Homo-oligomer: A and B are copies of this chain.
Amino acid sequence: MTSVASAASVSAAPASAGPVPASVAPARTPARAERLRCDAARNRERVLAAALELYREHGGAFTVEEVASRAGVGIGTVYRRFPTKNALLDELARPFFEQLLTTAQAAYAHPEPAERLEMFIRAMAEQHATDGVRSGRLWDTAVARPLRDEYVRTLELILADARASGRVRADVGPYDVGVVVWSVTGLIDATQHAAPVIWRRYLDLLVDGLRPGGERPLATRPVTQSDWEQLVSASPVLRLG
């Protein structure tokens, strides 16, 4: 009832140790039992392609039946492969999500350590704005967990650089940065169609706000990992229901 078959496919990857986390382990060819029959695999791709097309056209406001018919399959076929409409949408966001990690690592690879944090934040926002697939829900998915850990590890390294260079106030932690990025992506989602540039201005304000020099201490304890996890799992629930 719960698991997407491929969710377990990364479990065997050895934990990477280097400063720059290794990129995601390439998906090994699935074992006999978990491979789809070839017609099934073909249909799965068709469904995904149709869904992506519809997503780009109508941004999530489409029917499962539309997906099925555009893919040339029956509704039942869609549901055999994706237990729920949300699961289907999550699957659309996955490549985008994986790209996020790459982007984070690229920021960490920036030659000037002092610039890495700002680079990171801006790159995250930029990617979100460019791709346009809402991925917030995905952070709480089984597939995402291993990626997420690497993401946070990378962010911590970046933050250490920024701190060492005096480019960030000392009382800011990685999950604080997470919240900041989240807020920007929320703004991007809300404004992108109507006013595609607002978010950059807002981001500038945020980045400036991260500079050292504030006299007052921040009001509360740092955001913790647990805070962050609850935030991402709660974030889809933003309106009536």
Q: Is A61 an interface residue (CB 8 A)?
A: yes
Closest to A224 in B: B195
Min C-beta distance of A175 to chain B, whole Å: 9
- The answer to the question of A208 belonging to the interface, with a C-beta cut-off of 8 Å to chain B, is yes
Considering the complex, which residues of chain A in the window 55-108 have a beta carbon less than 8 Å from any beta carbon of chain B?
59-62, 85-86, 89
CB–CB B240/A89 < 8 A: yes
Interface residue A4 (Cβ < 8 Å from any Cβ of B): no
- Which residues of B sit under 8 angstroms from A230, Cβ to Cβ? 191, 194-195
Q: How far is the CB of A189 from chain B (nearest CB, A)?
A: 6
Q: How far is the CA of A240 from the CA of B182 in the complex (A)?
A: 18
For chain A, give the interface size range: 35 or more
Question: Which among B85, B204, B227 is the interface contact of A219 at CB below 8 angstroms?
Answer: B204
Copy number in the complex reads: 2
Please judge, given known A-B contacts A183-B183, A241-B61, whether A231 and B85 are in contact too, CB under 8 Å: no
User: What residues on B are CB-neighbors of A50 within 8 Å?
Assistant: none
Question: In the docked arrangement, what's the CA distance between A183 and B211, Å?
Answer: 20
Contact: A235 with B198, CB < 8 Å? Answer: no
Q: A176 within 8 Å of B by Cβ? A: yes
Q: Report if A27 contacts B (CB, 8 A).
A: no
Query: What is the minimal beta-carbon distance from A125 to any residue of chain B, in angstroms?
Result: 11
> B236–A223 contact, CB under 8 A?
no
Contact indicator B219/A214 (Cβ below 8 Å): no
Q: Which of A201-217 contact B (CB under 8 A)?
A: 201-211, 213-214, 216
Beta-carbon contact of B205 and A218 below 8 Å: yes
> Could you write out 27 A-B pairs with CB less than 8 Å apart?
A59-B237, A59-B241, A60-B240, A85-B240, A86-B240, A134-B239, A176-B201, A179-B187, A180-B202, A180-B205, A182-B187, A189-B238, A190-B234, A195-B227, A195-B231, A197-B220, A197-B221, A200-B219, A201-B221, A201-B223, A204-B216, A204-B218, A206-B209, A208-B216, A209-B210, A236-B239, A239-B239
User: Shortest 7 CB-CB distances between A and B: which pairs?
Assistant: A209-B209, A194-B230, A61-B241, A60-B240, A208-B214, A195-B227, A200-B219
